[in-house]
Amino acid sequence: MRYVVGYGPRQRGVDGVNLAATLARSSGATLDLVSVLPSDAPTFHRYSPDQAFNAEVEEQGREWLQDGLSRVPEDVRAEAHLRRADSITQGLLDSAVDPELGEAALIVIGTYHRVRSGRFGLGSLADALLHASAVPVALAPADYRAQPGVTRITCAVGTRPGNEVLFDNAVRLAGEWKVPLRLMSLVAVGEERRREWTHLAEQHAAALVDKARTGLPAEVPVTSVVGHGDSLEHAVEGLDFQDSEIVMIGSSRLAQPRRLFLGHSAGKIMRALPVPMIVWPRD
């Protein structure tokens, strides 16, 4: 198993490596640190880069990767790769489905983009990946620190169809990593209907807890939690999260099969989360 980690010279590259190392310590995955350089394909443009420029850019990319490898903990295996592409997004997507290396289990990136520590700030790279990737994308909040491993998986569950794939994969990962699974429902309604909707969410989550337990070893605990508030952001902010846990969220129903599409609700949840998240493709 391998994770593709987008690496560059900025803080988001460091955050991505730290998250990838945390995940790898639980899963045993190998990290493929990837720096994407501009395409060196010849063109007829009068200002097309020449060989000397391409060589200089490549040397810079190798320096970035050496810096990235130096940040990987000794107990995590990692390799470095330079890739040429028309965009960083395309380079990471190509790396994730490389026919020689096999499909990656995750693309991991940092999201540091003019936000305060511990929050997500979607720049153009993260935004593009979250609307195009065929494999799950793991996102690190700003200034994320590597952890000894994942200590809990929180999976966002809803009542709408299409959430089954996310739920099944959350159960699978909790079993493989031997960590507790928490099923999270969010109720964002006014106070006049909050009690009714919270009760329905609790019933739905309890049924999923029973279902998850049938697919997990007895030593892996499963719990549920319901967050409520006037908005999704307030519902998330009212819950507790561990620094070493991850949150799993599914793609919007608007997503094409086997593709990500970060929906409006997921975007709101992400802005309130203080811990890393994995967005799972549809189907």
Kindly report, residue by residue over 237-274, the tens digit of the pLDDT. Answer: 999 999 999 999 987 554 445 545 466 777 788 888 99
Output the pLDDT for position 161: 58
Grade residue 210 by pLDDT with cuts at 50, 70 and 90: very high
**Same structural domain for residues 134 and 161?**
no
State which of 92, 115, 140 marks the end of a domain.
Answer: 140
Q: What are the two backbone dihedrals, phi and then psi, of residue 200, each rounded to the nearest 5 degrees? A: -65, -40
Which of 87-91, 133-137, 172-176, 202-206 has the weakest average pLDDT? 202-206
Please tell me whether residues 132 and 174 are part of one structural domain.
no
pLDDT of res. 254: 44
Pair of tokens at residue 146: 């590597």
Of 250, 256, 253, nearest to 278 by C-alpha is 250
103 in any annotated domain: yes
Within-domain flag for 145: no
The CB density around residue 218, as the number of other CB atoms within 10 Å, is: 6
- At residue 255, the pLDDT reads 43
Q: Which of 2-6, 70-74, 157-161 has the lowest mean pLDDT?
A: 157-161
Q: Within 13 Å of residue 165, how many CA atoms lie on the same side as its CB?
A: 17
pLDDT at 82: 93
Among 87, 105, 140, the domain-final residue is 140
pLDDT of the residue at 105: 96
One domain for residues 135 and 6: yes
> Looking at residue 80, what is its pLDDT?
95
The chain-wide mean pLDDT, for the chain, equals 86
CATH number at residue 178: 3.40.50.620
Residue carrying structure tokens 């499909």: 103
Q: Does residue 147 lie within any of the structural domains?
A: no
Domain that holds residue 213: 152-280
pLDDT of residue 38: 84
User: Which of 86, 119, 140 is where one domain is finished?
Assistant: 140
* pLDDT for residue 116: 64
What pTM, to 2 d.p., does this model score? Answer: 0.89
At 198, the pLDDT band (50, 70, 90 cuts) reads confident
pLDDT at 2 (0 to 100): 97
pLDDT in tens, 38-83: 876 555 454 555 666 677 778 888 899 999 999 999 999 999 999 9
Give backbone dihedrals phi and psi of 228, rounded to 5 degrees, phi first: -140, 155
Instruction: Domain count for the chain, please give it.
Output: 2
95 and 161 belong to one structural domain: no
Confidence at residue 262, expressed as pLDDT on a 0 to 100 scale = 63
Q: Look at residue 154 in the predicted model and tell me its pLDDT.
A: 97
